[in-house]
Amino acid sequence: MFSRILFPVDGSERSGKAIRQAVEFAREAGASLVAFHAAPVHRPMVYEGFLPSDYLVPERVREATERQARRVLAPVEKACNKAGVPCDAIFVVHDSPYEAIIAAAKKHRCDLVVMASHGRRGLSGLLLGSETTKVLTHGRTPVLVLR
């Protein structure tokens, strides 16, 4: 039924717990998994004539972002290797995670997105928003939500 599954991870405890379920689902479906991470855009606070002491040149920011993305994606790759599930691990730098997820699903021809939900409800869910909810409401690819 599904052949290519996008699995966005953000490094949170919730997405870490969902790895086993996502990999097992892909294995049972005979699908490959696309582990995906959307890293935030780095915008240093630079004032006219002043650079902060922790300012990093763009090349260093890129290297740090890539290291962090690899750390977030590594557990998914490891679980896929152990389960014998084909896996591509990719990351992008983007201001809007839900838009990056929707674009990645389309670009990589995924026929399902599997996401962990943080379970926010009520006012906090409304105010904080939910990337999962945004992918559900704005995307065209079916979404399986893990709680």
Supply 25's token pair. 């689902």
Phi-psi map region of 11: left, alpha, beta (phi>0 left; psi -120 to 50 alpha) = left
Phi and psi torsions of 50, nearest 5°: -140, 125
Spatial CA neighbour of 40 closest among 17, 59, 64: 64
Structural domains of the chain sorted by starting position, each given as residue range(s) with its CATH number in brackets: 4-146 (3.40.50.620)
Strands (DSSP E) along 1-147, which ranges? 4-8, 32-39, 87-93, 112-116, 143-146
Q: What is the pLDDT along the chain (147 residues), one digit of tens a residue?
A: 899 999 999 998 988 999 999 999 999 999 999 999 999 987 766 666 666 666 667 788 889 899 999 999 999 999 999 999 999 999 999 999 999 999 999 999 999 999 998 655 555 455 445 888 899 999 999 999 998
